[in-house]
Chains A and B, each alone.
Chain A
């Protein structure tokens, strides 16, 4: 069956929030179970989103909301472009841009908490972006394709050639998902030194946009994992599920790191694991 990849892109825009929301719901239940609690219903993230959309929003300035719309819009666009057949390396840049809009929205607020969160999110971006560029470039190199569909159709088993990259992915994904110990810019957990970090001054639907964007982001990360397991995409989703479970475990077993550590460790991992992997790839091919 030959389906235009644009269809997949459009489907992503509509289905990714469902996927991300359910993932977040699972996340909360499993987290609760790890803490010996019952936890909320599976659909809790959707209830939260619905409530946030129904609630009034307090405007802190006129620019935050459009920037957040840009954030969620670009996040959706990144996923749509990824599945819709845009060049993979290019989506790495769009992904960074999407994340940047969140930083700008938080940075536009005068609150010290938002601002500190925005700055730390920039550091998160700085810590994770080199990896994503390398990863997508390496996937293109290995598979000889440049689009999502192309990689899936490639006869090369990507994960076999990029084991270091896959390991590094699990590390960097922790940063990107804002899981402890790398939840330096904001987190879902209660009291912390940053209040709610970069979302401190976002209320009502503004917060809902952030939540939505985060769901898209998780879906994009899942799509990235699928790229590694291009010969059997359900396997990719399965690996993503296992990896996500591990993320939750780590999230529940660690305390927050300082941003210096986040930056240093992620750069070290990117340089050693991904860089080493890429080097081996270029030398052996």
Chain B
């Protein structure tokens, strides 16, 4: 047992007492995120080609893609922000935002008990945005 009558912490405590606290007063004082900080996955529905690579590589199985329906969805509560999906996305449709994910409350739980944090996109026009094969990656598809 350490001798409790030795007081090595006293000078430190006294120094602290007279100096400014180290506390960052969070809600009123928000520290900007570092570069490369991983927070929320953002999805650009315009550029996605529903290749499903992100879904296949996602370690948390947070991403669901249904190519036939042009649907792309993510469970933000399951996502671990590992950045793999961003790295594999050929269309650069996925980006990693520095901002933290949103906090959710129970009232957002769906009627069937779906968790909150479910985000879902549907491609506007499947005919325009859906190349059938990954090989057909020609940039001229706009015609």
**Residue ranges of A at the interface with B (Cβ–Cβ < 8 Å):** 30, 32-39, 181, 249-250, 252-258, 261
Contacts and interface: CB of A to CB of B under 8 A. Distances in A.
Given A181-B4, A253-B10, A256-B4, A34 B17 contact: yes
B22 interface: yes
Contacts, number: 48
B10 A249 contact: yes
Nearest to B10: A253
Interface string B1-27: 110110111100110110101110100
B25 A38 contact: yes
Contacts of A35: 13, 16
A229 to B, nearest CB: 25
Given A255-B4, A256-B4, A257-B4, A36 B19 contact: yes
Nearest to B20: A36
30 contacts: A30-B17, A33-B17, A33-B21, A35-B13, A35-B16, A36-B16, A36-B22, A36-B23, A37-B21, A37-B22, A37-B23, A38-B21, A181-B5, A249-B10, A249-B13, A249-B14, A250-B7, A252-B9, A252-B13, A253-B9, A253-B10, A253-B13, A254-B7, A254-B9, A255-B2, A255-B4, A256-B4, A257-B1, A257-B4, A261-B1
**Chain B residues touching A, range:** 10 to 19
A92 B4 CA distance: 28
Contacts of A256: 4
A39 to B, nearest CB: 8
Interface string B25-40: 1000000000000000
Given A32-B21, A33-B16, A37-B22, 18 more contacts: A33-B17, A34-B17, A35-B13, A35-B16, A36-B16, A36-B22, A36-B23, A38-B21, A38-B23, A181-B4, A181-B5, A249-B13, A250-B7, A252-B13, A253-B10, A253-B13, A255-B4, A258-B1
Nearest to A182: B4
Looking at A30, A39, A257, the one whose CB has the most chain B CB atoms below 10 A away is: A257
Contacts of A36: 16, 19, 21-23
Contacts of B5: 181, 254
B24 to A, nearest CB: 10
Contacts of B23: 36-38
